[in-house]
Structure 1
Amino acid sequence: MRSKYIIYLTLGFFLSLVSYHISFAAYSAYSSKLNSIIPASARKNSKLGVVVKSLISKKKIFEYNSDTLFIPASNQKVIVSTVALSLLKSNFRFKTAFYAGGEIKGGVLHGGLYVKGYADPTINTEALRLIAMQFKQKGLTQVNGDLYLDDSYFDDLNYPIGWKSEWRDDFYSPPISALSLNYNNLEVVAYPSKNRSRVVVTTDPRVPGLKITNSSYLRKKKNSIKAKWAEGREEIIVSGRLYTYSKGVRLKLPVKYPSLYFGRVLKHELEQQGITISGQVKFDTVPRWANIYHTYKSDRLDEVVGEYNKKSVNIIGENLIKTLGAEFIGTPGSWESGRKIISLFLKNIGIKNGFKIVDGSGLSLLNRLSPNALADVLEYAFQNKSVGLDFITSLPVAGIDGTLKKRFKDKEMKGRIVAKTGYLKNVRSLSGYVFTTTGDVLVFSILSNGLGHEAKKFQSDLLAELVSCCEG
C-alpha cells in the first residue's frame, strides 16, 4: 500500500505539469542519440524492436522496428493484467465454494462434501488450514461420505500450446486447473537424520497417498541431491548426495494432478482439526440440490495482479486468461475463449494488429507482440482512471522491488522506472514507464529475440538516456 500511495502522489505531480513543454528539436536530438546506441548486431536483422513515447506531449520520441512482432516472454503479462483489471475490475475476488451434499445433524454431514474451484491461483496450505478451522468452529465433526472435487469451471487442458514439454518438470510452469494449491507446486524436503546416518525425505505440504522413493545419501561433500517425478506414476524419486552437516534443502516441483493435490491436502487438514471423512477423494460436479456451506475468497484482484507482475507468477496469468473466457463467454473457461476476449478488448481500444495472444504468462513460444502494441496498452492503462493506479503499482519498481529490485539502482534511475521484465532463452523484454528528471512521463517497450547478452546492456543504456530525456 505504501508504494501505491507514493506512486499515486508521483502521478498526481506529473499530471499537474500542464505547462511542461519540450521542443521538437529536443526530441529529434534525442532520437538520433538513441539510434546511435543500437547494437551493430541488431542492425543486421530484426532482432530488436523499440518504441518510446511521451505521455505528456503525446509525441513519439524514438522507434525502431516498432511494428515488428517478437516473442514477448513475460511482457505478455502487461496485456493480460490490463485486460483483467479493465473487465473483471480491481475489486474482483476469486472464490472457492464448499457445498453440503446432505443434511447436517449434530455436527455430522450425512452425505458428501463438495468443493468447487473458481480458479483462485493464490490459495495455499495455510488457507486450507484456516478453512478447516472454520469448519470446526461451525461444529462440523464428521463427513459420512466422500470429498468431491469440482474443477469444471475450466476445461480439461492443463497446458497451453507453445510450452516445451521439458518445462513440465519446472516449478514455474505447473499444470493449470480451476482447483489450485500453492501455485500447484510442492516442496520435497530433505535433511540429515538426528544421528546423521541417512537422509530423511518428506514433502511440504504433506500429501497422503504420495509415494516417495529415496536413494539419496549423506557425504561430506557438496550437495547434488535432486527430486523428480517417476514416469507415468504418482511417485517422487529422490537421489544424489546431501552434505552430512546440511541444515536441509527444499526442492520445488510442480504437481502432476493439481485438483487431486488440492483435495488430498484439504482432507488431511480437515482430519488434523478432528473432522473425519469416511469416504475418499473423488471427482464430481456439484449437484443442484447441494446447499452452500462455506465460501472462501481471495484477495482483491489488484493485489493478486501485484503478485503476478512484481514476482512474475505464471500460474496467475494462466488462471486469469481462462477466467476471462469463463466469465465473458461461458464455462468451461479455456485458453481459446480467453484469447478471444483479450483480442476483442485490444481491438475495442484501437489496437487492431501487432499481437498474437496464446497464453497468460508469456511462456508460450507462439506468443507475438510488437513494441507499438505494448506501448499502446501501457498508454491506455496510464490514462484509464479505473485501471491506471492499480496497474502501474503492480509493476516492478527500479532498484526497489520485484524483478527490478537489483537493477537500475543508481541514484538517477532508482524509483523512476516502473516496468515489466521478460526473460526466456534468447528473449529479453522490458516495457513500462519512465518518470524523467525533466518532468516528462515516457512509455517505452524494448523487445529482443536472439540478441544475446547485448540485450540487457542495451536496455540499461537506453533507460539511462531516457531518465534525463529530453534536456535541452
Structure 2
Amino acid sequence: MSTRIDALIEKQLPHATIGILVKDAKTGDVIYRSNSDKLLYPASNVKLFTAAAALYHLKPKHHFLTTLSQKNQNFYITFSGSPSLTIDNFTDLLLSLKKNNIKKINGDIILDTSRFKAPYYPGGESYDDLGWYYSAPDTAVILDENAEAYDVISAKKLGMPVTIKPRSAAPNLTVINQIITVNKEQEKEHCNLNIEIQPNNTLRLYGCMAQESKTKLIKLAIPDPVLMAKQIIEKTLKKYSLIFKGRIIIGRTPSDARIVTSYKSRDLIALIAHMLKESDNLYANSLTKELAFSLTKEGSFKQGAFAIKKILAEHTHLDMKQVVLTDGMGSRYNLITPEQIVLLLTHLYNDKTMRPIILNALPQAGVSGTLIDRMKKTPLEKKVFAKTGSMHDISSLSGYIINPQARSLIFSIVINGVNKPINTAKSLEDQILLTIFEQLSMEPAIENAFG
C-alpha cells in the first residue's frame, strides 16, 4: 500500500508536503500514516472544528433571531448575524408594520448591529479575495449572504470590454466595468481580473477575462451591508407608502422595547449542513462570532477562535493548545495536523448523537455539495462523507469512508505547496483513498454508521 501511495505522490505532486492519516473507525487501528503529526494549512477543514464547537455549545436546535421592536415612537431592528436571512425575509419583517396598522413612523429607525464586532474579515483573509462572495464581510447584518450575482458576457472582438449584467432586478452594488476581453494565453500569462472596493458599495472591476462563448456567472460581495440595509428600508417604506420622516441610524435596542415581529432562522443542524456541504465561509464566520458572543459577550474573530478551542477542549479532550486557530472558516493563519483532524472526527463518530448529524451534514462523494462531481463511477461513490478544502496552493479532504458491508475508515489528507492546478491535488486525494480502500481486506460491519 505504501509503495503504491508513494508512487502516486511522486508522479503527481513530488514537491508538495502531504500529511495523511487513515484509521479503522471501529478499532482505531492505523491503516496508513505519513507526516500525520506535521502542522499544515488545512484550508476549509477548519470548518469541521467550527461545526463541532457550535453543535456542542449552541445545541442542534439553536436559531438566529432577527427582531423588529418598538419603544415610544422609535423602531429598532436587532440583527443577530443570521447567515441565512434573505432580503425577502427582511422585507417581510418591515412589512409587518403595515400588517400591524402602523402607517406612519414618527420617530427614528435604529439598527442594532452590536452583536458582531469589527474587524469583519478574518486576519488571514487574502487581499486578492476581497470583493468576491466567499470573502463577504461578516457583520451582524447579513442579507442574501451579503453578495450579488452578475452575468459576464465576453466581447465578440478581442480588446473590447465585457458586458456585465446584474441578475437582481434591484442590485445593491454599483459596478464599474473596466474588464477587457482577451484570449486564454494573454489571461494566463499577462493579466488578471481584479476588484477595487470603493465607497458606497461600489466595486471597480478591471483587468482582463478570457473570451468565452458562454455567459459566465460571478458573485460579488457587498462591502457595506449596513448601508445596503438602510437603502432597502428606504425603498420598502416608500414602495408601500409608509410615511417616515425620521432617521435611520445605528444604536442599541432598549431591553424594554416591545417586539413587534421577528424572523427565526433555520436550526443549527440545517445551517451546519449548508456550511459543510457548500464550504460557506460566511456561515462559518457567523457561527464563529456567535460562539464568541455566547461565551464571552463579544462577537469577534479573536474571541470566536478562543471559544472554539475552549469548547472542544472541554467536550472532546483534544489538546487544543497544539492547534493554531484564528478563525472558523480556514484562512491561511490556521495550522492543524492531520492527526488532530482525525481525533476530532473520531470523537464525533463515537458520539451516537453527533455521528448522524455530521454524516448527514458532510458532502457525499458523487452525491452532494463540494464532492458531487468527485469519485463518481468508482467503488468510493456514495461511501465517502468528507469536508473538502482548497486555496491557491492548498488542498485537503477529511472525513469518513462508510462501508456498511465492511470496515469503515476515518481519514485526513492535507496537501500544502501545490504547484500545479488544484484539481491535481483533488485527484491525488481521491486516488490515495481508492488505493487504501481497494487494498484493505474487508470485514463484516457490526454497526450501522448512521445509527
TM range (shorter): 0.7 to 0.9
Report the counterpart of residue 345 of structure 2 in structure 1.
378
Report the counterpart of residue 345 of structure 1 in structure 2.
311
Report the counterpart of residue 326 of structure 2 in structure 1.
358
Report the counterpart of residue 168 of structure 2 in structure 1.
204
Rounded to whole Å, the distance in 1 between the matches of 2:114 and 2:29 is 48
- Given that 1:34 and 1:62 are in contact with CA atoms closer than 8 Å, whether structure 2 keeps it comes out as no
- Given that 1:436 and 1:469 are in contact with CA atoms closer than 8 Å, whether structure 2 keeps it comes out as no
Number of residue-to-residue matches in the alignment: 418
Identity of counterpart residues, as a percentage?
25
Larger mean CA deviation between 459-468 and 129-138 belongs to 129-138
- 1:228 is displaced (CA, Å) by 5.2
Deviations 1:111-144 (A, max 9, x none): 2221111110111112123323433322222222
Rounded to whole Å, the distance in 1 between the matches of 2:40 and 2:342 is 14
- 1:264 is displaced (CA, Å) by 2.2
Larger mean CA deviation between 370-379 and 455-464 belongs to 455-464
Report the counterpart of residue 78 of structure 1 in structure 2.
48
Matched, 1:61 2:31: yes
Q: Which amino acid aligns with 1:417?
A: V
Report the counterpart of residue 447 of structure 2 in structure 1.
none
Deviations 1:167-200 (A, max 9, x none): 1121110111111111111345789xxxxxxx89
- 1:401 is displaced (CA, Å) by 0.9
Deviations 1:323-374 (A, max 9, x none): 10100121x3111111111112332322215421111111x21111100111
Q: What is the 5 A alignment of 1:46-125? A: 47-102=17-72, 111-125=73-87
Larger mean CA deviation between 47-56 and 449-458 belongs to 449-458
**RMSD of Structure 2 on Structure 1 (CA):** 3.3
- Given that 1:41 and 1:451 are in contact with CA atoms closer than 8 Å, whether structure 2 keeps it comes out as no
Report the counterpart of residue 99 of structure 2 in structure 1.
137
Q: Which amino acid aligns with 1:54?
A: D
- Given that 1:116 and 1:150 are in contact with CA atoms closer than 8 Å, whether structure 2 keeps it comes out as yes
Q: Unaligned 5+ residue runs, structure 2?
A: 154-162, 182-192, 443-451
Report the counterpart of residue 13 of structure 1 in structure 2.
none
Report the counterpart of residue 401 of structure 1 in structure 2.
368
Q: Which amino acid aligns with 1:262?
A: A
- 1:232 is displaced (CA, Å) by 4.1
- Given that 1:187 and 1:205 are in contact with CA atoms closer than 8 Å, whether structure 2 keeps it comes out as no
Match of 1:161 among 103, 123, 127: 123
Could you tell me the TM-score, scaled by structure 1's length? Answer: 0.79
- Given that 1:169 and 1:253 are in contact with CA atoms closer than 8 Å, whether structure 2 keeps it comes out as yes
Q: Which amino acid aligns with 2:327?
A: D
Residues 452 and 259 (structure 1 numbering): CA distance in 2 closer, same or farther, change over 3 Å?
Answer: same
- Given that 2:150 and 2:164 are in contact with CA atoms closer than 8 Å, whether structure 1 keeps it comes out as no
SS at match of 1:471: coil
SS at match of 1:393: helix
- 1:444 is displaced (CA, Å) by 0.2
Q: What is the 5 A alignment of 1:25-44? A: 30=1, 32=2, 35-37=5-7, 39-40=9-10
Could you tell me the TM-score, scaled by structure 2's length? Answer: 0.83
Q: What is the 5 A alignment of 1:168-247? A: 168-188=130-150, 204=168, 206=170, 231-237=198-204
Residues 290 and 170 (structure 1 numbering): CA distance in 2 closer, same or farther, change over 3 Å?
Answer: same
Matched, 1:461 2:427: no
* Bigger Rg, which one: 1
- Given that 1:46 and 1:65 are in contact with CA atoms closer than 8 Å, whether structure 2 keeps it comes out as no
Larger mean CA deviation between 125-134 and 167-176 belongs to 125-134
Rounded to whole Å, the distance in 1 between the matches of 2:380 and 2:164 is 47
Report the counterpart of residue 239 of structure 2 in structure 1.
272
Residues 271 and 128 (structure 1 numbering): CA distance in 2 closer, same or farther, change over 3 Å?
Answer: farther
Report the counterpart of residue 17 of structure 1 in structure 2.
none
- 1:260 is displaced (CA, Å) by 2.3
Rounded to whole Å, the distance in 1 between the matches of 2:148 and 2:168 is 6
- Given that 2:399 and 2:410 are in contact with CA atoms closer than 8 Å, whether structure 1 keeps it comes out as yes
Q: Which amino acid aligns with 2:357?
A: D
Match of 1:422 among 369, 373, 389: 389
Rounded to whole Å, the distance in 2 between the matches of 1:132 and 1:251 is 30
Residues 264 and 188 (structure 1 numbering): CA distance in 2 closer, same or farther, change over 3 Å?
Answer: farther
- 1:263 is displaced (CA, Å) by 3.0
Q: Which amino acid aligns with 1:206?
A: A
- 1:68 is displaced (CA, Å) by 0.4
- 1:306 is displaced (CA, Å) by 0.8
Residues 280 and 34 (structure 1 numbering): CA distance in 2 closer, same or farther, change over 3 Å?
Answer: farther
Q: Which amino acid aligns with 2:318?
A: I
- 1:471 is displaced (CA, Å) by 1.5
SS at match of 1:39: helix
Larger mean CA deviation between 132-141 and 419-428 belongs to 132-141
Rounded to whole Å, the distance in 2 between the matches of 1:64 and 1:212 is 48
- 1:254 is displaced (CA, Å) by 0.9
SS at match of 1:172: helix
Matched, 1:322 2:289: yes
Rounded to whole Å, the distance in 2 between the matches of 1:51 and 1:432 is 11
SS at match of 2:399: strand
Rounded to whole Å, the distance in 1 between the matches of 2:116 and 2:102 is 30
- Given that 1:308 and 1:317 are in contact with CA atoms closer than 8 Å, whether structure 2 keeps it comes out as yes
Q: Which amino acid aligns with 1:57?
A: T
Report the counterpart of residue 147 of structure 1 in structure 2.
109
Residues 467 and 263 (structure 1 numbering): CA distance in 2 closer, same or farther, change over 3 Å?
Answer: farther
